[in-house]
Amino acid sequence: MKITVRSAAEADLAALLALYRELNPDDAPLPEAAADAVWAAISGQQGRTVLVADADGTVAGTADCFVMPNLTRGGRAILFVENVVVAGGFQRRGVGRQLMEAAVRLGESAGCYKVQLLAADDAYVHSFYEACGFKALAQGFRRYVE
């Protein structure tokens, strides 16, 4: 199986939505018009790259990356990674690792001083990110807005 990581295109939207259903199965499906509008906003956002892992023509995983300009660290930006998901049939086959390596390369090419993400409170997920070179150096906080 050949895996290629690339920037997502509009043609990948249906596959992305299917992956996000795996990530958040309790979410109501996003209506097509709303999905199209959100995709237009994402694709037009400077510093935003949605990566997809293409496995022999099938979108097998994704990671949403955002370069945030920063006034500390000598003006070096931060790359945030969100919504990382690999389709169930492609897990444990190197797809996630290649997505994370591509995210780090994206951060390096943008002059970022760090790549940062939040991970689910799950030992397997933590082990995966540690195997990709990430370290649990801070405690994350969230406040959901209803």
Q: In the numeric block, which tokens belong to residue 120?
A: 């689910």
Q: Which residue is it, tokens 């397997």?
A: 124
Q: Provide mean pLDDT across the span 60-76.
A: 98
Distance, first Cα to last Cα, the chain = 42
pTM, two decimal places: 0.94
For residue range 4-45, what is the model confidence (pLDDT) as tens digits?
999 999 999 999 999 999 999 999 999 999 999 999 999 999
Confidence of residue 146 (pLDDT cuts 50, 70, 90): confident
> What pLDDT is recorded for position 18?
97
Q: Would you kindly state where each structural domain of the chain is located, as residue ranges?
A: 3-132
> What pLDDT is recorded for position 139?
87
What is the topology classification, in CATH, of domain 3-132?
Answer: Aminopeptidase (3.40.630)
> What pLDDT is recorded for position 142?
87
> What pLDDT is recorded for position 98?
97
For residue 144, how many other CB atoms are within 10 A of its CB?
A: 4
Going from the C-alpha of 97 to that of each of 31, 50, 53, 127, the distances in angstroms are 31, 16, 10, 12
> What pLDDT is recorded for position 67?
98
For residue range 118-138, what is the model confidence (pLDDT) as tens digits?
998 889 999 999 999 999 999
